[in-house]
Amino acid sequence: MSMRVPDQPTCREIVELVTDYLEGQLPVGERTLFEQHLVYCDWCRVYLEQMRQTIRMAGEVSEESLSPETREELVRLFRGWKGKK
Amino acid sequence: MIAFKWLAKGAVAPFTGFVWPTDGSWVSAPAGAPAGSGVHACRISQLAWWIGDELWRVELAGDVIEHATQVEAPRARLLEQVTAWDPLAFKQACVARTESLAAEAPTPELADYLALIRTADAPIASFVDAVAAVAARGARSAFEDERAWQARWLARALDLREG
C-alpha cells in the first residue's frame, strides 16, 4: 500500500540521501525530514544501520591486512570493472 | 527552559546512539559544531513528530533555536523520565482517531489505513493517523492538525507542563 504523504520524503529519497546524512552534509531542514522518516520507517532505519556498519568495517581494512591472494583478486576485479566502463 | 526529549530504551539518542547520562549531568554540543548539531528537544506541541521508547523531561541552557518541529540548544541535561508514557495507550488513541476518520470518509484508502494502524506500534500509528487525516479531509494541513491533536492527547494523558 502506498501512502499519500504531504512533504514527507519517500524511502527511495531517503536511500539517496544516506551518504550525505552520514557525512553530516544535509541542511538542517532536510536532516529533520530525514530523521522524522526514520521514526516511523523500520526499513530505512535498518538500511541506515547497515550502511553505518559497512563504513565501520570498511574503515578497518588496511592494505597490509590483506593476503597477497586477496589483494591480487581485488586488483583483478577492479581492472575488470574499469574495463567494462 | 524545560522541554522534552524522546530517547530509545536505555536513554539512548535514537539517531546518534549517544547514551545520555541519567544522573543530571550536563551534556554540551561540540564547540564549533555546524548549525543543527546542538541538542534537540521538543516543546509539548512538537512531541508527536518524534515518538520514541522513552520520554524525558529535560532542561536546556544557552540560546535556544526554534525549529518547526523541534528546539535546539547548546547544552542540556535529563531531569526525569516521564514514566506515565504508555505507547500502547497512545497507539489505541491513534487507532480510535483513524476509526473516526474512516467512518467520516468510508473509502478503500481509509480502510487500508485502518487495517495498517491496528497492527502498528506507537511511532507508526502516529504517522498513519496523520496520513489518514489528510486522506479523509482532503487537505494537506490535516497532517499538521492531526499531529497537534496527538500532542494535546500526550499533554493531557501524561500531565505534561513546560517550564
Residue A5 resides in a domain: no
CA-based nearest distance B123→chain A, Å: 5
Residue A22 resides in a domain: yes
Residue A24 resides in a domain: yes
The verdict on a CB contact (< 8 Å) between A5 and B68 is: no
The verdict on a CB contact (< 8 Å) between A38 and B14 is: yes
Cell numbers standing for residue B48:
508527536
Say whether residue B126 is in contact with chain A using an 8 A CB cutoff. yes
State how far the Cα of B78 lies from the Cα of B5, in Å rounded to an integer. Answer: 8
Span A8-18, average pLDDT: 93
Residue A1: what pLDDT?
A: 57
Q: Mean pLDDT across chain B, nearest whole number?
A: 95
Q: What is the pLDDT of residues A35-63, one digit of tens each?
A: 999 999 999 999 999 999 998 888 777 77
Strand partners, B54: B7
The verdict on a CB contact (< 8 Å) between B36 and A4 is: no
What's the per-residue H, E or C state across B21-87? CCCCCCEECCCCCCCCCCEEEECHHHHHHHCCCEEEEEEEECCCEECCCCEEECEEEEEEECCCCCH
The verdict on a CB contact (< 8 Å) between B67 and A3 is: no
ipTM field: 0.88
State how far the Cα of A21 lies from the Cα of A19, in Å rounded to an integer. Answer: 5
- CA distances to A4, A10, A40, B133 from B109, rounded to whole Å, are 10, 18, 19, 11
Task: Spell out which residues of chain B touch residue A40, defining contact as CB-CB under 8 Å.
Answer: 123-124, 126-128
Residue A75: what pLDDT?
A: 86
Residue A28 resides in a domain: yes
Strand partners, A66: none
Q: Collapsing DSSP states into helix, strand and coil, what is residue B7?
A: strand
Q: What is the pLDDT of residues A61-72, one digit of tens each?
A: 777 788 888 888
Say whether residue A32 is in contact with chain B using an 8 A CB cutoff. yes
Say whether residue B88 is in contact with chain A using an 8 A CB cutoff. no
Q: What is the pLDDT of residues B78-125, one digit of tens each?
A: 999 999 999 999 999 999 999 999 999 999 999 999 999 999 999 999
Q: Which stretches in chain B have pLDDT values below 70?
A: none
Q: Are B85 and B55 in contact (CB under 8 A)?
A: yes
- Report the length, in residues, of chain A: 85
Residue A67: what pLDDT?
A: 84
Residue B70: what pLDDT?
A: 96
Residue A17 resides in a domain: yes
| CATH code (residue A72) | 1.10.10
Cell numbers standing for residue B71:
528546539
Query: Least CB-CB distance to B140: which of A6, A27, A40?
Result: A6
What's the per-residue H, E or C state across B125-144? HHHHHHHHHHHHHCCCHHHH
| Structural domain count of chain A | 1
Domain range spanning residue A61?
Answer: 11-84
Residue A3 resides in a domain: no
User: Could you tell me the pLDDT band of residue A85, with boundaries at 50, 70 and 90?
Assistant: low
Crossing angle of helices A11-22/A42-59, nearest 10°? 30
| Entry pTM | 0.86
Residue B155: what pLDDT?
A: 98
The verdict on a CB contact (< 8 Å) between B134 and A32 is: no
Sequence-separated (6 or more) residues with CB below 8 Å from residue B8: B14, B52, B53, B54
Task: Spell out which residues of chain B touch residue A5, defining contact as CB-CB under 8 Å.
Answer: 131, 134, 143
Residue A16 resides in a domain: yes
Residue A34 resides in a domain: yes
